[in-house]
Amino acid sequence: MRHARIKPDYMDTWHHCYNRTVGTKLDRPFGDVEKEEFVRTLKRVAKLYTIRIVSYQVMSNHFHLLIHAPCKLPSEKETCRRYRSFYRGKRTLTPGTPLCRTWQARLRDVSWFMRHLQQLFASWFNRTRPIRRRGSLWADRFENVVLEKGIAVWRCWNYVEHNPVRAKMVLNAADYRFCSYGVWTQRGRHPFEAHLNEIPLPMLVGRSGINSLDQVYKLLDASMSARAELNRQKTGFLLTAQRRVRYWVDGCVIGSELFIRDIMNRRYDGEDIAGRRLVRSADTDRGQALYAWRRLRNLPDS
């Protein structure tokens, strides 16, 4: 049963977005060429929207994104500039028109961002097959989990970047070039460095003495190295090298208990959810526990 997507547009919001391709779990339609094209498409779409990308991971049959959606609308002037640049001057918007205001709202909407990204890539994928392909590429609409800023975002960031290790494609995530961490390691610069400076860096200031992107990288690198050793340990929401934890994909909302109940109270518009039992992570970070709205069992990685 499809449910209305949770998108708290009354505040800046962090999302973990995920989708996979049609077919069985053994189907692997994305090779190096397809993964490179997905990243190129992601970069192009990111220039149109005001969504900020912090982390991405492109696998053989699915992808993960950690993104930040702003509450504030871009100005009409900025909307027109982005639109004209995206279409290379072949299409334009006029300030003050209904179409301009429509796109003004779309540019910070996570659903429109994901729709645009997936449609552009699917169109490229279908027309570049040896035998031209028709039909849907994606198995379903994308999944999104709303994250509370701080530890929930940091943990999810680690989860996203660790995917190729968990899938046993590489021993260290730094060796995988189709993820933001791998590019950051191999080229010495994050592919969305401007986005990191604008959003997660201010959020992480003060955490373990972080005050620069170099320090963010060092902390992430240390975390990646430590997690690579947790091949058989399973703790709460923590990822492992042999299993994936579905909370980060299907948890709906992850953060403190207060954050989750506030989001869901607004979502259900006054319905009594006080008795709803949340899932608590068994591990904590500086005494801060994480909770998830849904209770799901762990499933083998695919």
Rounded distance between C-alpha atoms, residue 222 and residue 99, angstroms: 47
The secondary structure of 3-14 as a DSSP string is ------TTS-EE
251 compared with 33, residue with greater pLDDT: 33
Q: Are 72 and 108 in contact (CB under 8 A)?
A: yes
- Ranges assigned E (strand) in the chain: 13-20, 52-58, 62-69, 143-147, 243-244, 253-255, 279-285, 288-292, 299-300
Q: Are 138 and 114 in contact (CB under 8 A)?
A: no
Q: What is the pLDDT of residue 239?
A: 40
SS3 for 71-90 is: CCCCCHHHHHHHHHHHCCCC
Across 199-208, b (16+ Cβ under 10 Å) vs e yields bbbebbeebe
Query: Residue 250: pLDDT band by 50, 70, 90 thresholds?
Result: confident
Please name the residue that has the structure tokens 């970070």. Answer: 285
Query: Residue 207: pLDDT band by 50, 70, 90 thresholds?
Result: low
Q: Can you read off the two tokens belonging to residue 101?
A: 């205001």
pLDDT tens digits along 158-191: 999 999 998 889 988 999 999 999 999 999 999 9
Rounded distance between C-alpha atoms, residue 60 and residue 26, angstroms: 10
1 compared with 69, residue with greater pLDDT: 69
Q: Are 240 and 166 in contact (CB under 8 A)?
A: yes
pLDDT tens digits along 87-138: 999 999 999 999 999 999 999 999 999 999 999 999 999 999 999 998 899 9
Ordered by where they begin, the domains of the chain are: 13-72+108-296 (3.30.70.1290)
Cα separation values, 178 from 43, 55, 205, 273, Å: 13, 11, 27, 41
Least confidently predicted of 31-35, 84-88, 286-290: 286-290
